[in-house]
Amino acid sequence: MKPIDHADATPEVQAVYDDIQQTRGVPDVNNFWKMAANHPATLRRTWDSLKEVMAPGAVDVLTKEMIFLAVSITNGCTYCIRSHEAAARKAGMSDAQHGELLAVVGMANETNRLANGYQVPVDAALLDR
């Protein structure tokens, strides 16, 4: 499959691209969207969902992007790490915040395996919640 540029896209796909560009204030969409456009229903559904989920709400945009980046690092998705690190930077992430995020992600992945390895029984107080 090849990325589909705006000029080569169907009107249905162009409408999604236009909404992404307007919502994000960018002149063109990333390759992620140009590849997803190979299946227009996936493009539209994924954008609609992402637009809703990543909008500011009870959690601010920077925190949402940092959470997205933490998941992408855990899964080892290079494309996602690079694009959401850029998005987090755009939302205001400083060098110090980036460094602390990586430290937390590292520790979480370590202690997740210590909990697995020790087969830690869940504390009664944690089950009562």
Dihedral of alpha carbons 73, 79, 67, 100, sign = positive
Write out the binding residues for a copy of itself, residues 99-128 only, by CB under 8 A. 99-123, 125-127
Nearest to 65 by CA among 27, 36, 94: 94
Select 15 or 103, whichever has its Cβ closest to a copy of itself: 103
- Contact between 47 and 20 (Cβ < 8 Å): yes
Write out the binding residues for a copy of itself, residues 24-43 only, by CB under 8 A. 30-32, 35-36, 38-39, 41-42
CB of 103 to a copy of itself, least distance (A): 5
CB of 115 to a copy of itself, least distance (A): 4
Tell me if 10 contacts a copy of itself by CB under 8 A.
Answer: no
Tell me if 9 contacts a copy of itself by CB under 8 A.
Answer: no
Residues 70-99, mask of contacts with a copy of itself (x by CB under 8 A): xxxxxxxxxxxxxxxxx--x----xxxxxx
